[in-house]
Amino acid sequence: MKVFKFGGASVKDAAGVRNVAAILRLFPDEQLVVVVSAIGKTTNALEHIAELAYEKQDYSEQLNLLRHQHERIVQDLQLEANLDYFFDFILTQAEQNGGMPFPRFYDQIVQAGELLSSSILSMFLKAAGINNTWADARQLIYTDDTWRAGNVHWEKTTTAIQSQLPSLLNSGLVVTQGFIGVAANGDAITLGREGSDYSAAIIAHALDAEGQWIWKDVPGVLSGDPKKFPDAVLLPELTYYEAIEMTYYGASVIHPKTIYPLRQKRIPLYVRSFLDPTASGTTIATDGKFIAYPPVIMHKSGQSLISITPSKTTFVADVQMSDIYALFSKHGLRINTIQIAAQSVSIVVDYNPYALNPLIAELRESYSDVQIKENTQLQLLTVRHYDDAILHQLTQGKKIYLEQRSRSTVQFLYE
C-alpha cells in the first residue's frame, strides 16, 4: 500500500487534474491512498475571505472569483458537478461563527479548499474509469483544539484510519483531503500551512505503508529554492535527520512534521516531479549514513524580530525565560531563532499580527519595566553545510539584524 500526496500546483487547472489521473494509471495494481491539497492558491484566497468576514467586511467579490476558478476547472473537465454546496458552506461558516476567536474561525473557513479539490478529483477519476472512494479526513484525523496547528491524537486517529481505509482500498483508490482534521470539540481544524504532507504521513504511519510519495513541480528536494537560488542542485538522497533539520529551518518542499511519523516506522519518503513522473527524484530514508551534502539554503520571508530589553539587569534569567517561552507558546508562535544577551533577548517568529499583537500586549503587562521593539518584514536565511564562499555571496550588501552560527548551520536575519 502506497500513500500519494498531490499539492495545489498539481491540480491547479484541468490539465493538472488530468495529469494526476495519468500518474495514477502508472500504478494500476497498487492500493493507493491519494491525499490532495486545495487547488492552486485557494488557501490564500480563503485566508483573505476569512480575514474580511471576521472584520465584517464584504468578501463577495473574492468568493465569486474563487467560485469561478473552480467552476472553470469543472467545465474544462466536462464534469456534471454543482459546486453550490461548497460555497453555501463557506457562507454559512462565515456568517454563523463570527463570535469565535479568529484562529478557530479561520479553520472553519479554510477547510473548504481541500473539500473542493478532493471532490473534483474524485469525480474526475470516476468519470475517467478509475474506481475510487472519497473519504472525509474529518473522520480520520483527530486532534486537540490548537487551532491552525492541531496536535494529532495518535491513538484515536490510528484506530479511525485502520478501521475505515483498508476495506475501502479493496474496491479501488481512496481520495481524501490533506491539511484538515477534526478537533476535540468536533469542529474542523487545520494542521498548519502545507500540512497536507503531514496528513499523508499520518495515514502512511497508521497503515504501515511501504512508502509515501510527494508529487511536486520540482525534480525533488533541491539545495535551495530555484526561484531564489538558480544554482540550486538536486539532492538525490537525504537521511531522515537531514530532512528534519532542513524542514525545521524552513525548507518548504516538505512540511516540518512530515518526517517524524515516517521515521518511527522506517517508511521511506519519495519526492517526485508530477511533470516527469519517471524521474528518480529524492529518496529520504535511513539514518547514520554519510552523505556529502552541498551547501543547503533555506529562506523564510515575513519574519518579525521581537527585542526585549529590561531596565533591571536581573530580567534575563531562567525564570523569566521560562515565562517568555510559555507566552510565545500560548499565543501559537513558534520561535524560529533566539539570541540571549546579558540584559536582552531577541526572538524571531513568523509575522502574524493576530498572534503578535496580543503577545506584545501581554509582555508589556507582565513586564512593565521593559522596552519592547519589533521589526517586521525581515528575511531569515539558514545555510547548512556552509562554507565561507557561500556565506559571503549570500550576505554581501545586506543589513544584518541577527546572526547565529554552529558547526553545521548558520542563520542570518536581514532586511
Question: In the prediction, which pLDDT does 316 show?
Answer: 60
- Read off the C-alpha cell for 244: 528534519
Predicted local confidence at residue 315, as pLDDT: 57
3-state secondary structure of 192: coil
Q: What is the pLDDT of residue 283?
A: 98
* pLDDT confidence of residue 317: 62
Nine cell digits for residue 52: 474580511
Domains of the chain: 2-284 (3.40.1160.10), 296-414 (3.30.2130.10)
Give the whole-angstrom CA distance, residue 303 versus residue 162.
40
Amino acid 313: pLDDT: 55
Q: Which of these, 393, 411, 37, 351, lies nearest to 228 by C-alpha position? A: 393
Residue range 48-81, pLDDT digits in tens: 999 999 999 999 999 999 999 999 999 999 999 9
Q: pLDDT for 151-169, tens place per residue?
A: 999 999 999 999 999 999 9
List, as one string, the DSSP characters of 117-165. HHHHHHHHHHHTT--EEE--GGGT-BB-S-TTSPPB-HHHHHHHHHHHH
Largest CA distance in the chain: 72
Query: Alpha-carbon Rg of the chain, whole angstroms?
Result: 22
**Which residues in the chain show pLDDT less than 70?**
311-319
For residue 248, give the 3-state DSSP assignment. helix
Pure H helices in 229-352 = 240-248, 259-264, 318-330
pLDDT at 320: 75
Q: What is the pLDDT of residue 369?
A: 78
Q: What pLDDT is attached to residue 63?
A: 98
Amino acid at 385: H
Chain-wide mean pLDDT for the chain? 94
Find out whether 179 and 38 touch, Cβ atoms under 8 Å.
yes
User: With contact defined as beta carbons under 8 Å apart, do 242 and 34 qualify?
Assistant: no
β-strand 370-384 against 409-414: which pairing, if any? antiparallel
pLDDT of residue 173: 98
Q: What is the pLDDT of residues 7-28, one digit of tens each?
A: 999 999 999 999 999 999 999 9
Q: Are strands 409-414 and 400-405 parallel, antiparallel or unpaired?
A: antiparallel
Cα distances from 223 to residues 125, 373, 392, in angstroms, run 35, 34, 17
- Rounded Cα distance between 58 and 37, Å, is 27
pLDDT at residue number 107? 98
Predicted pLDDT at 240: 96
Written as nine digits, the cell of 306 is 521581537
